[in-house]
Amino acid sequence: MSKIELVAPCHFGLEAVLKKEILDLGYEISQVEDGRVTFCGDRNALCRANVFLRTAERILLKVGKLKAVTFDELFEKVKALPWENYIPADGRFWVAKASSVKSRLFSPSDIQSIVKKAIVERLKSVYHIEWFPETGAEYPIRISFMKDEATVCLDTTGLSLHKRGYRTMVSRAPIKETLAAALILLTPWKGDRILVDPFCGSGTFPIEAAMIAANLAPGMNRSFTAEKWTNIVERKYWYQTVDEANDMANIQVETDIQGYDIDGEIIRAARQNARAAGVEHLIHFQQRSVKELSHPKKYGFLISNPPYGERLEEKEHLPGLYTEIGERFRELDSWSMYLITSYEDTEKYIGRKADKNRKIYNGMLKTYYYQFLGPKPPKTKHREL
């Protein structure tokens, strides 16, 4: 299994960001679809994708693709896949998730049951056993149907990749770490530029920005299901990947990253999360309301997840809040502002039409990423020596 195919699901609308990340890792893209990117690599790609990708939700090892419109057809085609190349005789395997969109087979529980039976029958005939002890490593299986075509994969990740391990305390409406990282990567911000989040909550935007600035791999301090798959990926590849991540990290980088929130308790939680991520020294957190937002320097970035007003009692405060955001932004000469929100009157109360607007699904909630672009800073002239 020198060459493998991997599937990386992501937030709908952010496939291009993930594609660039995968290309930057040096792997070949084989397909880009709504909410996922498929790519090819060696066995080491499985480890590096899990450790380095900031915007993928998980990394799936593709076992096969098939078309099925009846359960009999599904059974036979899943059974025909070479499961013995992936699951050893003592492996613990189950169908962790089945999904179906615009397909004749649509019941997740029935799909899961049929797929499990088919794999059991295949492995029975290969290993010549009637009963599987399932005492070894875990091999969770995922199958997703789209227009009667199913992609069958093994989940190499386990807990979703947005679980970086640093967020021990969360605010009421936290943004996922993977989504925050993707939204930052959609901007021209670099680690040597100013970044302020005036509604930082538990600190996700500033922490993800600091990790990007310090080149800290998001998965370097967590574990993955596939670490125990020694029949597929030797342990040395995981060690090599973590060594690579440590070599690339630069926690001494200088940054100007700030996070504000009106709630002092939330700011304490944000500091604790930043400490857990190893970037507390790179971020300045402060209890401050949006009306106090100011900064003496030019060409900075506001990147934030302001209140949406999902609760009825909060909705009435949104016009005033977004008006305030617009007023403070106008005072920040030459800055750019990026807001993710589901509030439909954002531009009206900000007082300016966004230069760009991107539809993004935050879970099941349709949101928009409003991009208000400021001027580019003048290029620094380097003296010739």
Residue 74, class by beta-carbon neighbours within 10 Å (0-12 exposed, 13-18 middle, 19+ buried)? Answer: buried
CB 299 within 8 A of CB 256: no
Residue 9, class by beta-carbon neighbours within 10 Å (0-12 exposed, 13-18 middle, 19+ buried)? Answer: buried
Q: pLDDT at position 336, please?
A: 98
Return d(Cα 356, Cα 276) in angstroms, integer: 34
Return d(Cα 349, Cα 154) in angstroms, integer: 47
Q: How many CA atoms lie within 13 A of 113 on its CB side?
A: 8
Q: pLDDT at position 383, please?
A: 46
Q: pLDDT at position 169, please?
A: 72
The dihedrals phi and psi of 239, each to the nearest 5 degrees, come to: -60, -45
Return d(Cα 303, Cα 366) in angstroms, integer: 18
pLDDT under 70 in the chain at which residues? Answer: 1, 171-173, 310-313, 380-385
Q: How many CA atoms lie within 13 A of 349 on its CB side?
A: 14
Burial string for 214-223 (b: 16+ CB within 10 Å, else e) reads bebbbbbbbe
Strands 365-372 and 356-362: antiparallel
Q: Which of 161, 264, 271 is nearest to 220 (CA)?
A: 161
Q: Which of 52, 82, 38 is nearest to 244 (CA)?
A: 52
